[in-house]
Structure 1
Amino acid sequence: MPRLSVVLRAAVAALVLPVAAASVPAVAAPVTQRGPEGHRPPGFVALAEVDPTIVQEMRYAGAHNFTGHRVDGYERPRCLLTRPAAEALSRAQRGLLREGYTLKVYDCYRPQRAVDDFVAWAKDLGDVRMKAEFYPRVEKSRLFEDGYIAAKSGHSRGSTLDVTVVRLPVRPTRPYVPGEPLVPCFAPRAVRFPDDSVDMGTGFDCFDTLSHTLDPRVRGRQRANRLLLKSAMERAGFGNLPQEWWHYTLRDEPYPSTYFDFPVR
């Protein structure tokens, strides 16, 4: 009987194991697609071609960002996205326009070379020229450990974007002047660098826990503004990164495992 019992158990295991293995979905390994220099892959579009009403303020194409320089790969200040992401964003825009608001994007598709630029900048601990505005309470040596900088970004997959809400009519804001005195990104809206965005409690790319979308310290109108953006984007099919009120990814993104590296032109 003991030998028969062992044989039966082995036979059952032989039947069960293939079924269990088949029920586990295969996870595609991340791929960086560089392609021909300057080539925009099929499926990517300029946001302005899909919805020209959405405001664009592409921060990494200029010097007003946490690095203090134009980031590698941003040759033009334009938003590129996969077509499904651009069309979903346009749906969110239509709802907000009816309420007297417009969306404004700060960043969209991000080349892998731009992410590499971020990594190189973060390793240069002597370059802290933008610390007073973007990471005043975080030591630069902790940017990797605290998750503010990483070697890969969902933006490089083409369906992630950084976005805010602006009340209509859109009022122009002054340009950033390199070298000007900096104010912490979590300072009151009237004090920090001017932005036509509604008051979200912090500025864009504020490396601080106050940027967490549902941080309990953010209340009143600031919290309502974050929820206005969150509701509009979620209805259109996007999901929010809880650590950044501005960061959204299309849930059904077409390239979930591919990181692109063509420049923004």
Structure 2
Amino acid sequence: MPRPLPLAGRSPAASAAPSVARVLRRLALGATAAALLASLTPAPAGAATASTARDGAGGTSRAGEPRAPREFVALRDVAPTVRQEIRYFTRHDFVGERVDGYRQPLCLLTRDAARALRTAQRQFLRQGYTLKVYDCYRPQRAVDHFVRWAEDLDDQRMKGEFYPRVDKSRLFEDGYIAERSGHSRGSTVDLTLVRLPGLPTRPYVPGEPLTPCYAPRELRFPDNSLDMGTGYDCFDTLSHTLDPRIKGEQRANRLLLKRGLEAAGFENYAAEWWHYTFTPETFPDTYFDFPVSRRSLGGR
């Protein structure tokens, strides 16, 4: 969601893992997890990759668009097994349309944040889960789109799912919408966990009946993720990570995600179970506006 997070110290990183083969034998993971873990084996020292070969700083493209500084990478180049369901590239979001600045369904992050996600992913794969990201870097033009939408009180098309109990006129006052977002700094990510092998989530059909994001799992819009008690981007206090009304398996799932990400250096925003920031941030005071696109990384 759009509110920035406070800067805080980095949590201890996860300790070095034993060899992939030994872990797989010990935990008896299936072929799916084995293949995913193998694909996360680091490249030899000094090897050039798409995420490390860039040099230079951010600037402007020939078309006049802002470009990402060299510290940004595509998550797929660093942690290819992390699943991506970039909601703001679709119409299944609280706005009800593709959000400005999302040219491709792509997760861009600072290199440090992407590497930390790779560390967390390795640990989750050993437990039979995979991370799935909903949103990563978010350009300022997307945040501006949210602000315009929030100011248009007549546009209530997605209320039935994303903010059933919140009057749209209070979205700013209640903190659900703001003029700046920590996502625009490049080290914040919205994500969840999927139990392997995990079938894809079905596509959203614009105009289909909406169900409250806090409804029981079997009634909510289907998601292949673990049951976290609410859907993603649910404007409701039930989305608070440690809300006492969330109990049993739902609470355990939130804590599983939280502990795994904290071990890799991320900090949770307490009002949203899905929202994590890697600390220390690479750009703690800079809000970028380059589009979500491979071209923003220089085409690499």
Specify if TM > 0.5.
yes
Counterpart of 1:233 in structure 2: which amino acid?
A: L
Displacement of 1:219 in angstroms is 0.1
CA distance in 1: counterparts of 2:194 and 2:231, whole angstroms: 13
Task: Give the conservation status (yes or no) of the 8 Å contact 1:110–1:156.
Answer: yes
- Secondary structure of the structure 1 residue equivalent to 2:257: helix
Residue in 1 that maps onto 2:206 = 178
- Secondary structure of the structure 2 residue equivalent to 1:119: helix
Matched residue pairs, number? 233
Counterpart of 1:119 in structure 2: which amino acid?
A: V
Task: Give the conservation status (yes or no) of the 8 Å contact 2:66–2:289.
Answer: no
TM-score by length of 1: 0.87
Residue in 2 that maps onto 1:163 = 191
CA distance in 1: counterparts of 2:202 and 2:250, whole angstroms: 23
1:209-236 alpha-carbon deviations (Å, 9 max, x no partner): 0000000000000000000000000000
2:221 paired with 1:193: yes
- In terms of Rg, which structure is larger? 1
CA distance in 2: counterparts of 1:113 and 1:35, whole angstroms: 17
Task: Give the conservation status (yes or no) of the 8 Å contact 2:138–2:186.
Answer: yes
Which of 262, 277, 289 is equivalent to 1:234?
262
Task: Give the conservation status (yes or no) of the 8 Å contact 1:35–1:261.
Answer: no
Residue in 1 that maps onto 2:139 = 111
2:168 paired with 1:140: yes
Residue in 2 that maps onto 1:57 = 85
Displacement of 1:38 in angstroms is 4.8
Displacement of 1:35 in angstroms is 4.3
Counterpart of 2:167 in structure 1: which amino acid?
A: E
Displacement of 1:251 in angstroms is 1.4
Task: Give the conservation status (yes or no) of the 8 Å contact 2:135–2:189.
Answer: yes
Q: Could you tell me the percent identity over the aligned residues?
A: 71
Residue in 2 that maps onto 1:80 = 108
Give ranges in structure 2 of 5+ residues lacking alignment: 1-57, 294-300
Task: Give the conservation status (yes or no) of the 8 Å contact 1:35–1:262.
Answer: no
Residue in 2 that maps onto 1:221 = 249
Residue in 2 that maps onto 1:125 = 153
Counterpart of 2:205 in structure 1: which amino acid?
A: V
CA distance in 2: counterparts of 1:176 and 1:70, whole angstroms: 13
- Secondary structure of the structure 1 residue equivalent to 2:116: helix
Residue in 1 that maps onto 2:181 = 153
Runs of 4+ that moved beyond 2 A: none
1:151-175 alpha-carbon deviations (Å, 9 max, x no partner): 0000000000001000000212210
Task: Give the conservation status (yes or no) of the 8 Å contact 2:267–2:277.
Answer: yes
Displacement of 1:40 in angstroms is 2.2
Equivalent residues in 2 for 1:28-43 (5 A)? Answer: 35-36=59-60, 37-43=65-71
Counterpart of 1:250 in structure 2: which amino acid?
A: F
CA distance in 2: counterparts of 1:221 and 1:143, whole angstroms: 30
CA distance in 2: counterparts of 1:161 and 1:230, whole angstroms: 13
Displacement of 1:41 in angstroms is 1.5
Residue in 1 that maps onto 2:74 = 46
TM-score by length of 2: 0.77
